[in-house]
Amino acid sequence: MDVSRRAFIKRASAVSLAGAATPFVLNLASIGEAAAATATDYKALVCVFLYGGNDYANTLVPYDNGQYATYAAQRGALAYPQSALAGTVLAPSTPLPGGAQYALAPELGKLLPIFNAGKMAVMLNVGALVQPTTKAQYQANSVRLPPKLLSHNDQQSFWQASSPEGAASGWGGRIGDLLQSGNGTASLTCINPSGNAVFLTGRSAFQYSVTPSGPIALNARNSLQGSTAAGTLLQSLIGGGGPHQFQNLLGLTGTRALILYNQVAQALSQAPATSTAFAAAADPQSSLGAQLQMVAKLMSVSSQLGAKRQVFFVSAGRFDTHSGLATLHPTLLTNLADALRSFYDTTVELGISSQVTTFTASDFGRALTANLDGSDHGWGSMHFALGGAVNGRRYFGINPVLANGGPDDIGQGRLVPTMAVDQYAATLASWFGVAASDLPTVVPNIGNYSGSPLGTNIGFV
Amino acid sequence: MTEFAPLHPGPDSRSCPDPVQADEIAPSLPPTESSMAAQVGVTSVGSLALAACGGGGGSPTQSPPTAPPVVAPQGITPTQASRFLSQAAIGYSKADVLNLSDSGINRWLDGQFTVLRTQKFWDFLVANGYDAATNINTVNGFDPMVWSQLMGSGDLLRQRVGFALLDQWVVAVDGFGGSWRPFAMAAYLDVLWDNAFGNYRDLMEGVSTNAAMGLYLTFLGNTKSNPATGSIPDENYARELMQLFTIGLVMLNMDGTPVMSGGVPVPSYSQADVSQAARVWTGYTHATSDNSTPARMRQPMAVVESRHETGATTFLGIAIPAGADTATARKQALDGLFAHQNVPPFVSRQLIQHLVTSNPSPGYVGRVAAVFANNGGGVRGDMKAVIRAILTDTEARDDSQANSTTFGKVREPVVRLVQWAKAFEVTSPTQAWPFGNTTSTANRLGQSPGRAPSVFNWFRPGYAPAGLASSDMVGPEFQIINEPSVVAYVNYMQGVIANGAGEAKPNYAALIEIAPDSQKLLDELNLVLAANQIGAGTIAQMKTALDTIAATTAAGASSRIYAAILLVMASPEYLVLR
């Protein structure tokens, strides 16, 4: 423990606030000493959440003549010309049945080398489910379904937490619950540089937020208006809590902010310089690249932070492309590809690419059938996992029949998922080190898939 | 923390001998079954309520607990006045506290309801030259406009209710493209603010024909189905109008609790309803193609009937016949939604959450919803009656709530800043109001008016933060509270308290006079900013700290004042309004 931190704790402990045991004092014990563990078998999961519901059909674009004809007919002006896709056609090690082919949207071209190198896999028709569900079962309402389908906030929550808005914990946090004890500083297990997300909240693990440029120092940490006493009191108030449940929670957050600042900032100051460039954001409203750059930086000092298992959450917004899809969505994809590619390259540069698995997630897929200039809310979607440990250059899952009112959609090409988020999550969790017997604590419904075609481990990592 | 027990005593549990207070409270309905149930087990709260009689919030300068309040016949104590204003006003000064203390709540509300708007959002932009052609593709003027309105207007209640409506009916300046966006926002915000004391149905109409909403939720330009191409109407506005603005996702009882069937909540609509309702919102476009001036942004959207869906449309039992034109379809759709059983509890609960408490009892929601459904004169959606019902309800006015561990809400960061500005009479001589965009969680508030990240706002009414002892509580504002934002808020306020923002400066003259007496200074701040909810123990610690800052010089007095305000505004007892 460095001197300033010790001094701060001493000062803070000397001030006892009205009300009994404050979280500020209580939490000192649980946060523990600065870490000394060595992260020889470090692993990290990185969830890249695309807020708004990413449009699957203009992300993984049908390319073979049969599928393309359907796509073009349903999409009208939104469709990429088939010729524009020739440069990004995926050539998987195992082709899809029936000659089906897909291309990445041209704006995702930066990811193609990762796919071709066998470090990126494509998930077909993954989405929120409670149990395996067919279209007929959906229509007959004869199986349990995720509540509030097609609602943004609820399906964001269901993807992240297996429960709609109001969920108490997410599966990233629940993974953290199981593995945080192996970290020198348990508080640094679940880290979010993009705000708050239920994904990273565990039953005991909490998420620690930083900005894309790192943690924030309290300006008055040494003194306020020249007064050490006032500065000390200010910190005690920020970390102090109180008898009201909201006060208590404010205090817990403030305590983490103040105490972890020194440790994290000091570690980050020792981060090795990397040469991989992160492009300026193609979407000026997105900080995704900066968030991933901070994630890479934190990973590069995992030894200093004593971290052996970390779960990160980053995000980009504006994917709710009801309108203006043809102009906005390509920008969002460029932004995504730039950030993912630079991040992947950085992990290669740091020599940790096989220890980091990155995966995409989103509220839901969208309809295949266009409205005038956009697409509306759907259900199943296409997603990517990438990293050195990924069993790449492959598709996983079952290729849906793309149609308006076909066997795999509930109308307008809103897909009934054939791969559950739970299966996606369980596969990632298993790679991360969660024992099979512990999977139900991470994804409670995973048992519903033990007899399904894809099973409980899809095998993409 | 103990297990969650409802801490909302009903009317009968009030034991303070306070006839004045009773007079102040609007007649409330008989307790419902659920509010009766909520009274079970409130014995300990009852004793707390006794201790809190007289409105003392724990400050040593308050009257002894057993003394009757010394107030005018219609009045309330200054502590009660400050607490009320923290719920009802966007911000307020000491003078506002004293005026309310004299007049009493109902008279204050009567007065606020009749205050005319001194300047509309739109007029601010014009008056300050933002309609110059060079601004056509910028957001120049947007932030000054909103800060001017929130900080610089005297209509304290309208500003607060308008801001609460914006928390529900979200449009954000970064969320749509095109020309004259600040003017589009101005016209939209004027719809909310103009209708804050009107009827909810008129608000629905105003928003549904507003260009900014048309752009934001993408029904400006929306077109009927095209059988040739298979294209279908954009469902965006149809869905969010139902989910966020009127009825919500599940059927509600009048007290805001979900209607259950087979152990699960009953959905209020299906995807088929959304697809059908989307047909209503087709055919809209700008009032004119002339965008050389911002004028079209405040004209109702025009319709192109040839692009409007004219086939028969049915959703939620609302049947719009084939051939209905756009205006007819809109009227039937909005009338139908407005009549839906969910609207009173859905809207009432959210307004209560924004103004008073994150976790209102079902009884409280039910009492307000009943007024929403019928103001007593047969009118549904009378916002004045709803606002009065929210702010005068026994659950809101019960002073013993200051001791609750569950009642109340975290003050929104923007409201904290505006409260500071109003308390210390911040002015901006050239109308620059240079507080700018306060979204950053690194060095600002993590929230900025009119800049929400999506139509789901900065925080959701159903957000349940991790770490609450009571698993059935929500804490909406916690969605924007995290390690960076907690510290950034304090850092930002430290600078603003001392320096203001550019030309926008506070007036601490009244505080400078009392600064040499740190107890007096703290008592004043505790009353004006925190409704005397900061306890004596914390105040004593603050006094000890402040006494290390000598106030014998002008600079020293200022230093002490700056530190005092920041300590108060950083304290959990201030941040959680009970």
d(CA A284, CA B330): 36
Summarize the confidence of residues A182-186 as an average pLDDT.
91
Residue A6 has pLDDT above 90, yes or no: no
Q: Which tokens is B404 given?
A: 């609750």
Using CB atoms within 10 A of its CB, is residue B60 exposed (0-12), middle (13-18) or buried (19+)? exposed
Summarize the confidence of residues B171-195 as an average pLDDT.
97
Contact criterion met (CB < 8 Å) for B490 and A211: no
Contact criterion met (CB < 8 Å) for A374 and B218: yes
Nearest to B545 among A209, A227, A258 (CB): A227
Q: Are strands B409-410 and B576-577 parallel, antiparallel or unpaired?
A: antiparallel
Q: What is the pLDDT of residues B85-130, one digit of tens each?
A: 999 999 999 999 999 999 999 999 999 999 999 999 999 999 999 9
Nearest chain A CA: its distance from B114 CA (Å):
36
Residues in Cβ contact with A65 at an 8 Å cutoff, skipping those fewer than 6 apart: none
Residue B51 has pLDDT above 60, yes or no: no
CA angle A146, A51, A362 (to 5 degrees): 45
Could you tell me if B259 lies within 8 Å of chain A, comparing CB atoms?
no
Q: What is the pLDDT of residues B225-241, one digit of tens each?
A: 998 888 899 999 999 99
Residue B28 has pLDDT above 60, yes or no: no
Summarize the confidence of residues B161-190 as an average pLDDT.
98
Amino acid B73: pLDDT: 53
Amino acid B556: pLDDT: 97
Q: Is the dihedral of CA A137, A139, A140, A145 positive or negative?
A: positive
Amino acid A34: pLDDT: 33
Residues in Cβ contact with B452 at an 8 Å cutoff, skipping those fewer than 6 apart: B170, B172, B175, B458
Contact criterion met (CB < 8 Å) for A247 and B576: yes
Q: Which residue in B has a C-alpha nearest to residue A375's C-alpha?
A: B234
Amino acid B228: pLDDT: 85
pLDDT > 70: what percent of chain A? 91
| Confidence at B499, pLDDT banded by 50, 70, 90 | very high
Query: Worst-scoring range by mean pLDDT, A35-49, A249-263, A381-395?
Result: A35-49
d(CA A44, CA A350): 13
Q: Which residue in A has a C-alpha nearest to residue B544's C-alpha?
A: A229
Q: How many residues make up chain A in this entry? A: 461
Residue A417 has pLDDT above 50, yes or no: yes
B-chain residues within 8 Å CB-CB of A193? none
Summarize the confidence of residues B449-470 as an average pLDDT.
94
A-chain residues within 8 Å CB-CB of B484? 209-211, 215-216, 257
Residue A169 has pLDDT above 50, yes or no: yes
Amino acid B528: pLDDT: 98
pLDDT > 70: what percent of chain B? 87
Q: What is the pLDDT of residues A366-380, one digit of tens each?
A: 999 999 999 999 999
Contact criterion met (CB < 8 Å) for A150 and B274: yes
DSSP states along B9-65: --GGG-----HHHHHHSPP-PPPPHHHHHHHTT-HHHHHHHHHTTTS--S-TTSPPT
d(CA B38, CA B25): 20
Could you tell me if A163 lies within 8 Å of chain B, comparing CB atoms?
no
Amino acid B41: pLDDT: 32
d(CA B186, CA B375): 30
Could you tell me if B344 lies within 8 Å of chain A, comparing CB atoms?
no
pLDDT > 90: what percent of chain A? 90
| Confidence at B3, pLDDT banded by 50, 70, 90 | very low
Q: What is the pLDDT of residues B369-407, one digit of tens each?
A: 999 999 999 999 999 999 999 999 999 999 999 999 999
Q: What single DSSP character describes residue A201?
A: -
Nearest chain B CA: its distance from A116 CA (Å):
36
d(CA B192, CA B185): 11
Going along B352-456, which residue ranges are E strands?
409-410
Most A CBs within 10 Å: which of B451, B483, B518, as the mutation test of the A interface? Answer: B483
A-chain residues within 8 Å CB-CB of B356? none
Most B CBs within 10 Å: which of A22, A188, A245, as the mutation test of the B interface? Answer: A245
Residue B64 has pLDDT above 50, yes or no: no
Query: Worst-scoring range by mean pLDDT, A95-104, A230-239, B60-69, B439-448?
Result: B60-69
Amino acid A213: pLDDT: 96
Contact between residue B485 and residue B416 where contact means Cβ atoms under 8 Å apart: no
Amino acid A13: pLDDT: 37
B 446-465 residues with CB < 8 A to A: 453-454, 456, 460, 462-465
Q: Give the residue ranges of DSSP H helices in A144-244.
A: 152-161, 171-179, 228-238
Residue B6 has pLDDT above 70, yes or no: no
d(CA A131, CA A136): 14
Nearest to B527 by CA among B75, B125, B68, B78: B78
d(CA A191, CA A169): 15
B 116-135 residues with CB < 8 A to A: none
| Confidence at A40, pLDDT banded by 50, 70, 90 | low
Could you tell me if A213 lies within 8 Å of chain B, comparing CB atoms?
yes
**Element containing residue A75 per DSSP (H, E):** helix A65-75
Contact criterion met (CB < 8 Å) for A247 and B573: yes
Q: Give the residue ranges of DSSP H helices in B171-285.
A: 181-195, 200-208, 211-216, 236-240, 271-278
Summarize the confidence of residues A347-356 as an average pLDDT.
97
Summarize the confidence of residues A247-276 as an average pLDDT.
96
A-chain residues within 8 Å CB-CB of B222? 371-372
Q: Are strands A43-50 and A309-316 parallel, antiparallel or unpaired?
A: parallel
Residue B425 has pLDDT above 70, yes or no: yes
d(CA A57, CA B459): 30
Nearest to A246 among B229, B264, B475 (CB): B475
Q: Compute the mean pLDDT over every residue in chain B, rounded to the nearest whole number.
A: 89
**Element containing residue A126 per DSSP (H, E):** strand A120-127
Contact between residue B427 and residue B405 where contact means Cβ atoms under 8 Å apart: no
Can you state the angle between helices A288-300 and A245-269, rounded to 10 degrees? 70
Q: What is the pLDDT of residues A268-318, one digit of tens each?
A: 999 999 999 999 999 999 999 999 999 999 999 999 999 999 999 999 999
Q: What single DSSP character describes residue A211?
A: B
Does this complex have an ipTM over 0.85? Answer: yes
| Confidence at B17, pLDDT banded by 50, 70, 90 | very low
Neighbours of A83 (CB within 10 A): 7
d(CA B22, CA A103): 71
d(CA B347, CA A30): 42
B-chain residues within 8 Å CB-CB of A370? 229-232
Can you state the angle between helices B156-168 and B181-195, rounded to 10 degrees? 110
Q: Residue type for B275, please? A: S
Nearest to B497 by CA among A251, A224, A231, A221: A224
Contact between residue A413 and residue A74 where contact means Cβ atoms under 8 Å apart: yes
Q: What is the pLDDT of residues B551-571, one digit of tens each?
A: 999 999 999 999 999 999 999
Summarize the confidence of residues A24-43 as an average pLDDT.
46
Q: Residue type for B61, please? A: T
Nearest to A166 among B274, B462, B469 (CB): B462
Contact criterion met (CB < 8 Å) for B570 and A147: no
Could you tell me if B221 lies within 8 Å of chain A, comparing CB atoms?
yes
d(CA A276, CA A322): 35
Residue B44 has pLDDT above 80, yes or no: no
Q: Which tokens is B161 given?
A: 């209710």
Q: Which tokens is B277 given?
A: 């309702």
Amino acid B230: pLDDT: 84
Amino acid B229: pLDDT: 82
Q: Residue type for B323, please? A: G
Give Cα B246 to chain centroid, integer Å. 17
d(CA B114, CA B102): 18
Residue A2 has pLDDT above 80, yes or no: no
Residues in Cβ contact with A286 at an 8 Å cutoff, skipping those fewer than 6 apart: A316, A317, A318, A332, A335
- Distances from the Cα of B9 to the Cαs of A435, B20, B32, B244, in angstroms? 48, 19, 13, 30
| Confidence at B75, pLDDT banded by 50, 70, 90 | confident
> Measured between alpha carbons, how far apart are the two ends of chain B, in Å?
17
Q: Compute the mean pLDDT over every residue in chain A, rounded to the nearest whole number.
A: 91
Q: What is the pLDDT of residues A124-163, one digit of tens each?
A: 999 999 999 999 999 999 999 999 999 999 999 999 999 9
Most confidently modeled range among A38-42, B21-25, B59-63, B228-232:
B228-232
